[in-house]
Amino acid sequence: MERLQNLLLLLVRPIVDEPERVEVAASESENRVDLALTVAPDDVGKVIGRGGRTIRAIRTVVKAASVNAGKRVNVEVSD
């Protein structure tokens, strides 16, 4: 699970203006991992992207990386 958190940080920090304010909180159940991404209020739009394209791409990469863990991953953005 820590590997997924680090991957999410690696993907998000380069696209925001305040990378030091990017945080990832994780909760894990038997077959699911929930990752809550918190960024600065001004950076939420950059993470979501036009029409949600950026967050969709981020979710796709994280889900692909979670295949080895055998768990479903959910990535949510909060400000």
Residue range 2-78, CATH number: 3.30.300.20
Mean pLDDT of the chain: 93
What does pTM read for this prediction? 0.90
Rounded to whole angstroms, the Cα distance separating 22 from 59 reads 16
Answer whether residue 1 shows pLDDT above 90: no
pLDDT for residue 78: 84
Tokens 């159940």 correspond to what residue? Answer: 29
Answer whether residue 4 shows pLDDT above 80: yes
Q: Take residue 22 and report the two structure tokens written for it.
A: 């990017």
